[in-house]
Amino acid sequence: MTPDPTRPATAPAGAALDLAAEDAKLLVLARSARLRAHVPEGQPAEGAALRDTDGRTYAAATVGLSRPELAISALRAAVAAAVSSGARRFEAAAVVTEGDEIASDDLATLAEFGTGVPVFLGGTDGVARRRATS
């Protein structure tokens, strides 16, 4: 699914982005994955879900380690799972986090497999707040 230019990239304060049903499903999967994150105390937990161009979905959670430089973000873990399953092109992704931004390294990882993929950022309540692209 290609990004809809009529949909805002950021929701107004206190509002949610209007998502297509397929994209809303990614947010639900990402929120569920976040609950399975392994993070040392004080590190943020994230969940991510990714849909390939065949419609298959992949979900993953943060793998935090005592050495932060070795940690694996949820989106990079989802990309790794998808690529390991043979996917090479993606339609959309979602990340659920306490943060306000999607890490640039995560977007760069996704961009290795194609630019322009919409990535929806949701809060821990599962509400989409902004959209970025790879």
CATH number of the domain bearing residue 83? 3.40.140.10
Could you give the number of structural domains in the chain?
1
Tell whether 14 is covered by a domain: no
Tell whether 119 is covered by a domain: yes
Tell whether 99 is covered by a domain: yes
pLDDT top residue among 15 and 38: 38
Report percent pLDDT > 70 for the chain: 89
Residue 4 predicted with pLDDT over 80: no
Phi, psi for residue 131 in degrees, rounded to 5? -130, 135
pLDDT top residue among 106 and 1: 106
pTM for the whole structure? 0.86
pLDDT at 122: 96
Tell whether 97 is covered by a domain: yes
Confidence label for 14 from pLDDT (cuts 50, 70 and 90): low
Tell whether 7 is covered by a domain: no
Q: For residue 130, give the H/E element and its range.
A: strand 128-133
